Amino acid sequence: MENVAEYKEIVEVIKLSGGDVFKYCYQCGTCDTLCPWNRVIEFSMRRIVRQACFGMTEIETEDIWRCTTCGRCHYRCPRGVKLIDLTVSLRKIGSEYGVFPEHVKPVKSANASLVAEGNPLSEERKKRAEWTKGLGVPEFDEEKELLYFPGCYLCYDPRMKKVAKATAELLNMSGVEYGILGEKENCCGESIRKTGDEELFKQLAKENIKAFIDSGVKRVLVSSPHCYHTFKNEYSEYFMVNFDIIHMSQFLFELIEKGQIKITKEYNKKVTYHDPCYLGRHNGIYDEPREILKKVPGLELVEMPDNREDSLCCGGGGGRVWMETVKGERFSDLRIQQALDVGAEVIVTCCPYCITMLEDSKKTIEDPRAESLEIKDITELLREVV
């Protein structure tokens, strides 16, 4: 019996928006088994794929905005179906028709801020480099070997400014010739793209690429895995540019190996490492952060149940860092609990979204042990022991 789409025009719209990948799905259900949403609610990506395949208009609007683009389903899919592409295609359609559930409406504010000020946090562009005051962070010029691109959260968010400060101090200690673009820096555009706004992504990307070329940038050092992924994979694919992109955890490991950063103090605590989705599953960087931690005297590294390729998403990807996730549905709550259950005193990670989500969960989780649990970026911990 031939399957015929109920609404052929809807199928075509989905295809044109980049969702043609659904045709490879044979409904095995692996995605539903792996999706972290099914740890907190009943959710079926398989159902969404089936409905999209047949052009059904009753796809649950709420569901298309749940995906965090963590990549667990894509990593294990036996057919190689790129479900993230399907999710983004549906969001493009939803955005075009103004279909936003209540908890998704903050994306509109992020969008407006990105257009006006180049960041999603409703902060002024002229204040983008204020975090550098008193740190001796130079402006980038062609004589410098490295552009440091801190990203929006490290420039503006009060918690994440501590990471930016630790990073600058480590770079200054190492003797590396680096600089920043300051006001000329724009959001990388990764997260707004995952909400379906392809045009704004392209605008931000073109502005960054122009700034890089005009300034003579060849190598870019980033703190955020989302910036890393976008600069390395998406800019090169869609705009045919090939800057040398390196994540902070990789670079710090290099500096330690070369002796430019020397660990001189002990850190007598039990530490667990949380793999960010966009650093790990999306880009295969698992070892360097762990190797840094293993070099710290006194530090006991313990693994949580979901680690490396199977790491549990914090819940902030896919633009969800800007959306409200109700208590009881936060993946970061589960992650905090996993860390406590292995006896960790500190969670170390390498992503501003992960730190944001984990810090929020630490404040609301009911386990009394969470009060003393520390959440740190790897640069913060390393700064303490050099």
Residue 2 covered by a domain = no
Amino acid at 201: F
* Whether residue 240 is found in the same domain as residue 173: yes
- The answer to whether the CB of 304 falls within 8 A of the CB of 274 is yes
* Whether residue 305 is found in the same domain as residue 363: yes
* Whether residue 112 is found in the same domain as residue 226: yes
* Whether residue 108 is found in the same domain as residue 233: yes
CA distance 83 to 52: 11
Of the candidates 44, 72, 99, which is a domain's last residue? 99
Residue 367 covered by a domain = yes
pLDDT by residue (tens digit) across 273-305? 999 999 999 999 999 999 999 999 999 999 999
Task: Identify the pLDDT of residue 54.
Answer: 57
CA distance 353 to 368: 24
Task: Identify the pLDDT of residue 18.
Answer: 52
- Axis-axis angle for helices 287-294, 378-385 (nearest 10): 20
* Whether residue 112 is found in the same domain as residue 161: yes
Strand partners, 376: 348
Say how many domains are in the chain.
Answer: 3
CA distance 46 to 57: 16
* Whether residue 183 is found in the same domain as residue 213: yes
CA distance 71 to 58: 25
- Axis-axis angle for helices 106-117, 198-215 (nearest 10): 30
Low-confidence ranges of the chain (pLDDT < 70): 1-22, 52-61, 99
* Whether residue 290 is found in the same domain as residue 359: yes
Tokens representing 300?
């006991």
Amino acid at 385: V
The burial of 3, by beta-carbon neighbours within 10 Å (0-12 exposed, 13-18 middle, 19 or more buried), is given as exposed
pLDDT by residue (tens digit) across 157-206? 999 999 999 999 999 999 999 999 999 999 999 999 999 999 999 999 99
Residue-wise DSSP of 236-247: HHHH----EEEE
Residue 249 covered by a domain = yes
* Whether residue 73 is found in the same domain as residue 182: no
pTM of the shown model: 0.92
Q: Which domain does 237 fall in, by range?
A: 104-254
* Whether residue 148 is found in the same domain as residue 215: yes
